[in-house]
Amino acid sequence: MMKRLVIFGNNYQQDDPARVWALLEHLRNHGLEIAVERQYLHYLSQDRVGYPLDEFDADKVPEADMALSLGGDGTFLTTAMWVSRQGMPILGINMGHLGYLTTGHLDKNSNIIEEVLAGNYRIEERTMLQVESDTVDIPHPWALNEVAILRHDTSSMLDMETRLRSHTLTTYRGDGLIVSTPTGSTAYNMSVGGPILEPTTSCLVLSPISPHSLTMRPLVVRDDSIIVVRTHTRATHYEVSIDGEVTLCPTGSQLTIRRADHCARVVQLAGNNFASTLRQKLLWGTDQR
C-alpha cells in the first residue's frame, strides 16, 4: 500500500500553480504523506504561504514509495537522475508541452492518481548509462536518454576514436556522437536520423552527428557493451552532455560509457503501450496533411 510520495517539478511551468496545489491536496486527502523538493516548493509557495509540507534537498531524497515528476521530459530526466539509484518508481505527469516520457496530463478529466492508487499500473525497467572521464570529475554521470559528445564554441570538427568491447570500432569525424539508450532513441538520437527502439529492449545506439563520411551510419549494439571514446579537436575543450547536463572535457581526453548498475523504474498506466505512445505523441505513421 502506498504511503509516501516525493515530488519534483520545475520553476518554468506555464500552468497555474493552483492546479498543483489542488493535486497536492487531493493526494493528502487520500492519506498520503508528501515531501516536495525544496526549490520547487519555494516556487509553489509564491502562490500559497504557510501550507504545511515536508521538503527535501534533491541530493538527499528521503525514502518513499514513488516519485512524482510534475513537468515535461526535462523534469522527468532530472527526477530519474536523483531517485533511480534508490530503485524508486517514477510517475511522470505532464505539465509541459510534448511530455513524451510522462504517463499523462494533469487536467480536470485526469484519473492518473486514482489509477495508480488502485494499483492499475505496471513498472517498466529502463536502461541507464554511466559515464567516466579520465581527466575530469563528472558530478552527475548517469543518463536515462543519452550521452552526447559535442563541439564547444568552435566550428572545428571532432575526431572521436571509438572502441567497442575493447576492439577498435572506428574514428567518427563530425560534429559529435550520441550514445543513446532505447528510452532516448526518440530524443536527440531520432533528430539526427537514428532508429526508434522499443524502450525495454536490451541495446544501445551510436549515432554520429553530421558525420564527415556518408558511410558513418547509426549502429545498434548490445547494452552490455563498454564504449570508449577518445576525442580530439583543434579547440581546447569539447562538451559532454549527459541528459542535458554539460561538462567540459579537454581535447585528447577519454570517456568510458557503459550500462549503469541500476535502472530507471518508470510507472505506466495499464492502458499505456509503446505503439499508442508513438502514434499519439509523435504522430508516428499518421497523415499530417
- Looking only at the bridges linking them, the beta strands covering 90-94 and 104-105 are parallel
Which of 57, 59, 73, 224 is the catalytic position?
Answer: 73
Question: DSSP assignment of 112-154, as one string?
Answer: HHHHHHTT-EEEEEE--EEEEESSS--SS-EESSEEEEE--SS
| 137 catalytic residue (yes or no) | no
174 Ramachandran zone, left/alpha/beta (phi>0; psi -120 to 50):
left
Question: DSSP assignment of 87-115, as one string?
Answer: T--EEEEE-SS--TTSSEE-STT--HHHH
**CB-based contact 176:151 (threshold 8 Å):** yes
Residues 210, 31: Cα–Cα separation, whole Å: 53
Residues 140, 142: Cα–Cα separation, whole Å: 6
**CB-based contact 8:79 (threshold 8 Å):** yes
Residues 203, 245: Cα–Cα separation, whole Å: 23
**Closest Cα partner for 118 from 251, 257, 247, 1?**
1
C-alpha grid cell, residue 235: 579547440
Residue type, 144: L
Decide: helix, strand or coil at residue 17.
Answer: helix
Just list the catalytic residues: 73
